[in-house]
Amino acid sequence: MAKQKRLPKFVKLIKPSKPVRAKFDVKAFAEVAAKSASGGSLGAFVDSVTEDGITTFAWEADIKGYAGWRWNVSVFQQDPATEPTLSEVVLLPGPDSLIAPNWIPWADRLADYQALQAELEKQAELDQQDSDDESEEDLAVLDLEESENTEDKSN
């Protein structure tokens, strides 16, 4: 007799609060996922989409911090004579949900930072050269004024 595999201790099996009426009560799958993920409840039904034998049902997610996200349950049924198969239960962002910006690789971010630093250094050098040129011009003007003053005094 083969041994049955036991689930690891960290896996929690959560049973729906109400009994599953049909063999595939899709809403019950979504409720179980919502409870196991957040301890919350399932929101209002949004819609269902059928394509190539896969039907995806969507409900609003009532999870703090996930406004606009949806629980999706995908079920595959090749034809009406075959039994349906649960494909996945997943939390996905909806059209008006808040999602993180696209990830930018560290090398790209670092390259932008280094380019900015190089530009700032060049600007600082130009500013320093401009101030040196101005101080040389000021000295030349002062020398010219002093020489004019000494000439005026000698006359």
Window from 40-49, 53-62, 119-128 with minimum mean pLDDT: 40-49
| Number of neighbouring beta carbons within 10 Å of residue 63 | 17
106-128 pLDDT, tens per residue? 888 899 899 999 999 999 998 88
Report domain extents, the chain.
Answer: 26-93, 103-155
33-43 pLDDT, tens per residue? 777 666 667 78
